[in-house]
Amino acid sequence: MTKTALITGATAGIGKATAQLLAKHGWNLILTGRRIERLETLKNELSEKYDVTVHVLNFDIQDYKACEKAWNSLNLEIKNNVSVLINNAGLASGRSPIHEGDVHDWDLMIDTNVKGLLYMTRLVVPVLKEKMSGHIVNIASIAGKEVYQNGNVYCASKHAVDALSRSMRIDLLPFNIKVTNVAPGAAETEFSIVRLKGDTDAAKAIYDGFDPLMAEDIAETIWFALSRPAHVNINDLVIVPTAQANVTNLVRK
């Protein structure tokens, strides 16, 4: 039976790379994001190249009603075929100290990283519970394990993801639903461009002097977790570039 995964934030970075890898392995997909053109392009690319079924849902994950409407737009057969939820949508916005923080940035990070994850989990889990099987992968961050200067609210939001992953694992244990927390270190995606409000030069400089993780590295880590035997669950994975020991110790050439 062909498996179906729902991936949030699939228009770029880790979400897109994961969609490409799962399609390569023959999985059907439900891809969500705010940039409809990118979603449609990816849908066409994957369905043509790998002969898989791809559905796209264009909505803002910060809005529960929009999440609910998008999910309910799928017919019952499509929803019932979902066996994996990858809560990937997330971002950082701004790098200010706590006393200079932009409240809009705070809302954006909390509403996306925490509430968006909760919204999609709340909608999809009843399907997995009914089947007594499934797998949820939450994309956290090394910032959910440690904190760093000017990371305040972003770190708090990813610590919340880490805590939610552990809580979900307990709550969903009776229903045979796996939960995996994946915490990347320095990874070169659109993450820093978004955080720095489109300053591409400053974003590129963050990765100067070392080889960062790429989105494909994280996708392969997700695939490892998903492809374990039925009796094996990977609870938590921290993945960093070789040049990085932890959130503050990184060697540049």
Q: Three-state SS across 88-118? A: CCCCCCCCCCHHHCCHHHHHHHHHHHHHHHH
Checking if the pLDDT of 60 tops 90, the result is yes
Nearest-CA neighbor of 200 among 188, 210, 211, 209? 188
User: Domain containing 176 — which CATH number?
Assistant: 3.40.50.720
In a domain, 158, yes or no: yes
Task: Compute the average pLDDT of residues 220-237.
Answer: 98
| Total domains, the chain | 1
pLDDT at position 207? 93
Does 74 map to a domain?
A: yes
Residue 247 lies in a domain: no
Is residue 46, in this structure, part of any structural domain at all? yes
Mean pLDDT for the stretch of residues 167-190: 96
Does 36 have pLDDT greater than 80?
yes
**Would you say residue 223 lies in a domain?**
yes
pLDDT of 1 above 70:
no
Average pLDDT of the residues of the chain: 96
In a domain, 150, yes or no: yes
CB-CB contact of 28 with 57 (8 Å): no
- Determine, yes or no, domain membership for 167: yes
Mean pLDDT of 221-236: 98
Give the largest Cα separation in the chain, rounded: 54
Sign of CA dihedral 29, 59, 239, 231: negative
Determine the 3-state secondary structure of 30 from DSSP.
strand
Residue 199: per-residue pLDDT = 80
pLDDT (tens digit per residue) in 108-161: 999 999 999 999 999 999 999 999 999 999 999 999 999 999 999 999 999 999
Q: Specify whether the CB–CB gap between 177 and 133 falls below 8 A.
A: yes
Catalytic (active-site) positions: 154
Tokens representing residue 119 in the block: 């919204």
Say if residue 59's pLDDT is above 80: yes
Is 109 inside any structural domain? yes
> What mean pLDDT comes out for the span 54-65?
98
For the chain, give percent helix, strand, coil, nearest 5. Answer: 50, 15, 35
Per the structure, the complete domain to which residue 83 belongs is given by: 4-239
Does the pLDDT at position 191 exceed 90? no
pLDDT band with cut points at 50, 70 and 90 for residue 194: confident
- pLDDT of the residue at 152: 97
